[in-house]
Structure 1
């Protein structure tokens, strides 16, 4: 058993930290939201009074925060949590953030003698709860091996993507492909509905043909086609539209930095942004309401 610091006990962070507790680790957690701290206690997480306290006396610090700005405010500040970590400690940042911030965190780690991994996840809330997340990891292979038992407690797969920031690149482009597929699906169902093709018939074709994709089976945008879909529950979020919009924004930023013109990805981003203005709390599959079908 080891003691692990955990900053960010929200929708994803709390079940991830809870799975570490179930695996026999002591977790000292912190979140700026008091309700999140209160709920974390129910999972056996020892709540710290600050991010610095959560990092004090631990060899591994994990962060799961909403945006790059939050990572900068939490970690890249003087006298912050990194300042109390001993040389050789490991920081695992599982936030989905912009590549420059991630690389700045790696550079700060080098300055302090701390090993940093950027390790964003795929799998959503269900994966966080079940401990089946996929981690896309940028950093040194030796560091990954040092903390592999922690990844195994929180997920079912780890992919070492390369050097600093590469995990964030992988997450951004993966989400771009997912978001683009989801928007294409919504357009297909709207076209079919307006031209008299029943949704079930289209589903039967897509699910067994070249149009098949992960989004169809996990985020089908119409009710009555896939068991447990958000569409069957008034689009209660399995993966909120605002979160996917944020990820598509990160993909667009990455594309700009790489000098790549987005056509499909930019269109998907625009539709998710449109949905998120008023209904970002809904599931991302509710984007179908923005392509003409109510």
Structure 2
């Protein structure tokens, strides 16, 4: 990296990727982008950026490359088949902001090592509304020195940057976070089921739960962030995350089964919860 702000390449402009890229550009970092579908770059209108015609071209000019793609297989396709790693500079840093398996994060770091490229797994938590407010929590796995170098970039879109540990730790942190949120959603559903059986009015009870010691982000998010309008978009993503969580803790066997099952149940009933809260 030069004495000036490092050049940041970015790939992946979905619900969270686009706001992250916007924040990086507005933070004064030279932003270079590539998109499989050029129309997705419309999300960056009004922000300074340079478009490239290939992954290789973007890689060659970037000190840092951020990926915010849907699945681990997408990362590998871009990094290997798209020749991203092959064309990145030695000492450059590849950052994965997507959610995936810790095992895949470690594999990406292994593939990057021969090219002298550092890799951080840095998934984000908070959802689209929080991303637009630039208040995400960024959960980072990787070498301490590299995390420290990139923290100013992360702070352009984050309220918290938490270094959890070595490569793959960021993904573990994100998956445990999501699993506990889904378990909390299941808790809320079960409490409301009991209340309805007693014919208690739902809305005042929700006011109590949100204002009292029982409150949680999972409870607060129903309504403002998770609504009947977007739940059918969010629910498959949460179920995918719970599948990833199950795969991440599979080696623990029966020790993890209760947590996994409860988290999956919470994700499956997310639409039911929004319907009850909105009633």
Q: TM-score higher than 0.5 here?
A: yes
What pairs with 1:268-287 in structure 2 (closer than 5 Å)? 268-270=263-265, 272=267, 274=268, 285-287=270-272
Moved more, 162-171 or 123-132: 123-132
Q: Which of the numbers 209, 230, 240 marks the counterpart of 2:234? A: 240
Query: What is aligned with 1:196?
Result: 199
Structure 1 counterpart of 2:258: 263
Greater relative CO, 1 or 2 (CA 8 Å, sep 6+): 2
Q: State the 1:7 CA deviation.
A: 1.0
Query: Contact 2:60/2:89 (CA < 8 Å) preserved in 1?
Result: no
Q: In the alignment, is residue 178 of structure 1 matched against residue 181 of structure 2?
A: yes
Q: Is the 2:63–2:93 contact (alpha carbons within 8 Å) kept by the matching residues of 1? A: yes
Question: How has the CA–CA distance of structure 1 residues 194 and 51 changed in structure 2, closer, same or farther, with 3 Å as cutoff?
Answer: farther
Question: Residue in 1 aligned with 2:153?
Answer: 150
Q: Distance in 2 between matches of 1:121 and 1:289?
A: 23
Q: Give the aligned partner of residue 211 of structure 1.
A: 214
Q: Structure 2: where are the runs of 5+ without partners?
A: none
Deviates more, 1:32-41 or 1:113-122: 32-41
From 48, 57, 66, the equivalent of 1:44 is: 48
Map residues 36-75 of structure 1 onto 2, 5 A cutoff: 36-75=40-79
User: 2:24 maps to what in 1?
Assistant: 20
Q: 1:229 to 1:75 in 2, by over 3 A?
A: closer
The 3 A distance-change label for structure 1 pair 183 and 43 is farther
Shift of residue 114, structure 1, vs aligned partner:
1.0
Cα deviation, residue 116, structure 1: 0.9
**Aligned in 2, Cα 1:51/1:270: closer, same or farther, shift over 3 Å?**
farther
Please, which of 107, 113, 118 is the counterpart of residue 115 of structure 1?
A: 118
Task: Tell me the distance in 2 between the aligned counterparts of 1:269 and 1:178.
Answer: 11
SS in structure 2 of the partner of residue 66 of structure 1: coil
Residue ranges of structure 1 left out of the alignment (5+ in a row): 221-227, 276-284
TM-score of the superposition, structure 2-length normalised? 0.88
Q: Distance in 2 between matches of 1:128 and 1:242?
A: 19
**Mapped contact 2:231–2:271 kept (Cα < 8 A):** no
1:230–1:238 CA contact under 8 A, matched in 2? no
CA distance in 2, matches of 1:89, 1:71: 17
Aligned pair count reads 273
Q: Deviations over 1:197-239 (max 9, x none)?
A: 111332244235553221111225xxxxxxx3544xx333597
- What's the Cα RMSD here? 2.4
User: What TM-score results when the alignment is normalised by the length of structure 1?
Assistant: 0.84
